[in-house]
Amino acid sequence: MKIVACNSNRPLAEAVAAACGIALTNASVRRFADLEVFVEIHENVRGEDVFVIQSTSYPANDNLMELLITLDALKRGSARRITAVIPYFGYARQDRKSGPRTPISAKLVANLITAAGANRVLTMDLHAAQIQGFFDIPVDNLFVAPLYSRDIQERYAGRELMIVSPDVGGVVRARAIAARLGVDLAIIDKRRPRAGVSEVMNVIGEVEGRDCLLVDDIVDSGGTLCNGAEALLKNGARSVGVYVTHGVFSGGAVARIGAAPVEMMTVTDSIQATEAVRVSRNIRQLTIAPLLAEAMKRISEESSVSSLFN
């Protein structure tokens, strides 16, 4: 078993390797003068089970090209099996035709990863579960629900909780955590007049006097979650916290969340935190390194990955 780290989230890759008890494979991922990506693996990988860790976060296209070229380098180095470990799968929100003459970019990226040489994919909390079907190779989609459920039990012990989905599309994700905690579920009825803009229409569920926790997979501009927090407080919620898997934080998202009535936003380290995120008063990170490491070991040993979520 070998682990190769690209450049999108080196600290996470190092933490995963430490949890697996092995050193990162000696490799270089660098740029030529014209910014072309060049990858060189400095160790023998022939016949090895190799895992490439790379989130396709900002800058998404650069990180995607690093991943594809690394996969190609390993394939040409005769690795026995190559697993693309993509903690945050970019382009996942383009999983359907949103209008006439628009692409399904998630399917295109799946094709690229497969053509580049990946034999399987390990990812976390895909925006839409059906993206697994875009691949013609095995996909293991890990869930952050067990990690977040334990953290909520420790952090919010003794409080009257309600899990809230920020939109109808996230109900399954929110219900999974609510069921683990044995608490009620509420839903925010939201409409999106255009990309990047959301409006709260109604809050479905009795949130008055409750400590509400919004649960989502991605925080991008932060508008949906900030608007949801304000709507919950207007409907009588005692406090609002947020649990999100992937902290994209584009534009002025960190400042927007800092000014919002959010007690604390918890995100994973699937995307490397910027300095603004690290110093924010109400954003904290939980690491997914032990979870990724355990899943990678089970894949390498050909044992069950799904039992991680029992």
Active site residues: 190
Q: What backbone torsions phi and psi does residue 2 show, to the nearest 5 degrees?
A: -130, 150
DSSP H helical ranges for 197-245: 223-234
Name every residue whose Cβ is closer than 8 Å to that of residue 244 and which is 6 or more positions away in sequence: 215, 216, 217, 218, 219, 225, 265, 266, 267
Calculate the CA dihedral of residues 267, 271, 277, 282 and round it to 10 degrees: 0
- Give the position of tokens 């939980």: 286
To which H or E segment does residue 303 belong? Answer: none
Token pair for 5: 């780290």
Contact between 71 and 116 under an 8 Å Cβ cutoff? The reply is yes
Give CA–CA dist 7/218, Å, rounded.
21
Give the CA distances from residue 298 to residues 67, 80, 294, in Å, rounded to whole numbers and listed in that order: 22, 17, 6
Name every residue whose Cβ is closer than 8 Å to that of residue 253 and which is 6 or more positions away in sequence: 219, 220, 221, 222
- The arrangement of strands across the sheet holding 81-86 comes to 2-5, 49-53, 81-86, 120-124, 139-142
Contact between 163 and 177 under an 8 Å Cβ cutoff? The reply is yes
Give the CA distances from residue 108 to residues 70, 102, 104, 134, 213, in Å, rounded to whole numbers and listed in that order: 18, 12, 7, 9, 35
Give the CA distances from residue 107 to residues 128, 131, 212, 222, 245, in Å, rounded to whole numbers and listed in that order: 12, 7, 35, 26, 22
